[in-house]
Amino acid sequence: MLSPYIYLHKTLSSVKLTNLPEEVIYKGIAASPGISMSRAYLYAKNQVVIDDSKLTDEEIQQEVEDFENAIKLSLKELGKVYELSKERIGEDNSKIFDAQMEMLNDNYFLDSVKEKVKTGNRTAGYIFNEEISKLTAALASSDDDYLRDRIVDIKDVRNRVIRNMKRGKLISKVEENSIIVSHELTPADTILFSRRKVQGYVTDVGGVTSHAALIARTLRVPAVVGTKSASYKIFTGDFILVDGFDGLVIVNPTEETITGYKSKLEEIKEYEKRLYEVFDYPCETQDSKHIELSANIEFDEEIDFVTKFGHCSIGLYRTEHLFLEAGDFPSEKYQIEEFTHIANVTYPNTVTIRTYDIGGDKLLPLSQKEDNPFLGWRGIRICLDRESIFKEQLCAILKSSRKKNLKLMFPMISSLDEVIKAKELLKQVMNDLDEQGFQYDKNIPVGIMIEVPSTLFIADRLAKEVDFFSIGTNDLIQYLLAVDRGNELISDLFQPFHPAVINTIKNVIDIGHNNNIPTSICGEMASNPLAAVLLIGLGADELSVVPSVFPEIKSIIRCLNYEDAKKLAAEVLEFSTEREIREIIERFYEENVNIKLQKPVS
């Protein structure tokens, strides 16, 4: 298994630098830990650039095939957008997407483009743009306002097709072991680049809890986000070092800098060896308090950690990656295969499967756009609006539950009505399976994510409807403090130790316990060493963490005295500022954890 702390490009140990320009350092936000060094690749996917170069006779057939594939992909995207749009704004208001699809189904028009590519030896993007320009010019000269307004729609079709042609080519041009530098990256981009053995990510925008950053940590690729201007100053081919511990991007590092990082890596390797010794020991405090420590899982690669190292439950299995990778909702058959596999390899430990939590920053880049997606159509809202898709997923989960080690969890809950409706649909699926004679876990535990502030005021009523709470701290903090977690301009305001956040978590845990249901923490706070100490003291029953920090969090738990952690939490609840809370936790950590772990200084 790859080290969860160290990502070291093979050139770092042998590189010799001579006659390079002056070293330049850019500061950003450390989004995924690790150190890597390689050549940069500047990824500018949002720029629609027309390639007007001439083609050789040998390149023409591939160009035509690329154009045909881009048309197919564009039609698929538009079809999905059209269906989503009909759900939200009605069929009449969605006809523009239907019109765009008709344009891409016009064989006469498309054959004309392909023929001109063959006869003119020009790129399909160039020819397609030329033909679109003729059409928009004709519309621009019209006296009809409606026709003139269609110019934007037609240009959108052009941009979509050219982007889809360009995207495949961009990915294929990326040399393996590159470091990707971009203004921003979507989750889909991050997944796609992983196939090119990318060594690191650097972006101008984004925060530590954006989904793209979460995926980088999942894939164990160092990342620095929120640099503000790196993509404008770093170019393809530049030699750069990414420090995902301290949020630094170093262009043209000197030999002295490289030597310093080699020493740092040696310290981390030694520290890591000590951490890995905890796998065979129980997850309990010094005074024998058991703490359930589980893993957040999204990709197949992470399941190996659970089966070979962690031997733990999965506290959060994200299903949206099935949507992100396929570009559409997966079939019931495919989901059954995925869920049955993870249930089997994890047994007898449990797996908490979260239903689709798409939306926010987890939609594909060309899906339906919203002005404020984090407050829009996402999570349980999509599922309840698209009942057939939701019931298909519920059916797949139930059919995979024969070992009785699966749990079901609904995301983005904001009202009791949503919980009741979701449970009604679950009951309908169960009745259908009963009629068909399927065997499944009739008592599958059902829980909800606590992440929307409205749930805090009705938590007692919600607790009577479910079997467990799971606090999603990423969105909870975002909504509670009105701080966009992907906005690097206000990243300092995203404060896990804000008194409102701490008191909210404590209240939810207490309400859960008063109703005899457990509360887990599955957001980034659980994976933060300082926060984990406090969460344990607040009474959290379970911490579900990313695999890369599992051994460290387990080691911290084994260093703690539970009664001392409870006293710390009681003190923290009396403070009124984030600074006071952070300072007392840091002092407690230094005195009770750091000395015992002997963690290297970053």
Of the listed ranges 108-122, 371-385, 406-420, 465-479, the least confidently predicted one is 371-385
Homologous superfamily of domain range 10-44+183-270:
Phosphohistidine domain (3.50.30.10)
Taking alpha carbons only, the member of 560, 555, 543, 550 closest to residue 597 is: 555
- Residue-wise pLDDT tens digits, 89-148: 567 666 777 777 888 888 888 998 999 988 888 888 888 888 888 888 877 776 666 566
Which helix H or strand E contains 251, and what residues bound it?
A: strand 248-251
SS3 498: coil
- Residue-wise pLDDT tens digits, 511-568: 999 999 999 999 889 999 999 999 999 999 999 998 888 888 999 999 999 999 999 9
Give the active site residue among 211, 283, 321, 498. Answer: 211
The residue with greater pLDDT, 320 or 287, is: 287
Question: Please, what is the average pLDDT of the chain?
Answer: 84
Taking alpha carbons only, the member of 246, 183, 193 closest to residue 215 is: 193
pLDDT, position 502 = 97
The residue with greater pLDDT, 366 or 140, is: 140
Residues near 594 by beta carbon (within 8 Å), at least 6 away in sequence: none
Q: Do domains 57-172 and 280-597 have the same CATH topology?
A: no
d(CA 202, CA 31): 10
Q: Could you tell me the pLDDT band of residue 366, with boundaries at 50, 70 and 90?
A: very low
Share of the chain above pLDDT 70, in %: 83
Answering whether pTM is above 0.85, one says no
Q: Catalytic annotation on 522?
A: yes
Provide CATH code, domain 280-597. 3.20.20.60
- Residue-wise pLDDT tens digits, 391-437: 999 999 999 999 999 999 999 999 999 999 999 999 999 999 999 99
- Find the mean pLDDT for residues 494-520: 96
Q: Which residues face 389 on adjacent strands?
A: none
Q: Give the highest mean pLDDT range of 82-91, 321-330, 532-541.
A: 532-541
- Residue-wise pLDDT tens digits, 255-264: 999 999 888 8
Fold exhibited by the domain 57-172: Enzyme I; Chain A, domain 2 (1.10.274)
Q: Catalytic annotation on 312?
A: no
Q: Domains of the chain: which residue ranges?
A: 10-44+183-270, 57-172, 280-597
